[in-house]
Amino acid sequence: MPPNDLSQRAEALNARYRHHSATSVLSHTLRDPEAGALALVSSFGAESVVLLHMVAVAKPDTPVIFIDTQMLFTETLVYQQEVCERLGLSDVRVIRASDEALETTDPAQTLHRHDTDACCTLRKTVPLQRALQGFDGWITGRKRFQGATRASLDFFEVEDGTDRLKVNPLAHWTPDDIRTYMEENRLPKHPLVARGYPSIGCQPCTTPVAPGEDPRAGRWPGQDKTECGIHFVDGKVTRQGENA
């Protein structure tokens, strides 16, 4: 579909659902022909269970894409399996970089030590772009409060450089909304949250965060990097918020 047509479709969807709640946006969009075939991309991180639960209630056979970088915490892998079973999600797709790509680019598994951007591209961005082929759009957990680049985030937007939509049902939510939803629905928390990890990525590149620090301070500590690169704005990597 030509970009201008896709932009017009995003505008029409935003107008249609402008006054809807997050749960309403998600449940209606999953069945709206104008939105097309959608997948939820989830990191199964600290806040991911909110959207996973919404999807499970609205349409449990929605494809859920989970990127296993093969450098994740064991706790994340266990949590992913437990959440999927508990919520009854029936189409979970675990994706990874190909063996050939890993052998060619990172045979010693040390790429993250000297080029984190290249490591994220190899283990996250490329596998995700491959997995999203055939979908008209994907659902993210991005929110306006996560930074200046997201301050005017809409429910629907065009993914930069592609012919896909991004759907952001939680765009208008606050941290309190997230906590309240998890508590009211008795959703399981990622076990690392209680150990000081408010934002959880790959084990080599994630550290605990001290009280009062920015929640993202533990991601790629000591580097000018806070985003893996699967979200872009005007062709540039965004620098705030969770990846999915």
pLDDT 10s digits, 156-210? 999 988 899 999 999 999 889 999 999 999 999 999 999 999 889 999 999 998 8
- Do 89 and 101 form a contact (C-beta atoms < 8 A)? no
Q: On the CB side of 198, how many CA atoms lie within 13 Å of its CA?
A: 14
Q: Does residue 222 carry a pLDDT above 90?
A: no
Tokens (6 digits) for 121: 């591209």
- Do 35 and 165 form a contact (C-beta atoms < 8 A)? yes
Active-site residue among 84, 119, 202, 228? 228
Mean pLDDT check: name the lowest of 48-62, 119-133, 207-221: 207-221
228 is known as an active-site residue? yes
CA angle 241, 196, 95 (to 5 degrees): 55
Strands 92-95 and 236-237: unpaired
Q: What is the model's pTM? A: 0.86
Q: Does residue 237 carry a pLDDT above 50?
A: no
Q: Which CATH number fits domain 3-237: 3.90.650.10, 3.40.50.300, 3.30.70.120, 3.40.50.620?
A: 3.40.50.620
Query: For the chain, which residues make up each domain, given as ranges?
Result: 3-237
Sorting pLDDT into bands at 50, 70 and 90, what band is 223? low
First to last CA, the chain: 25
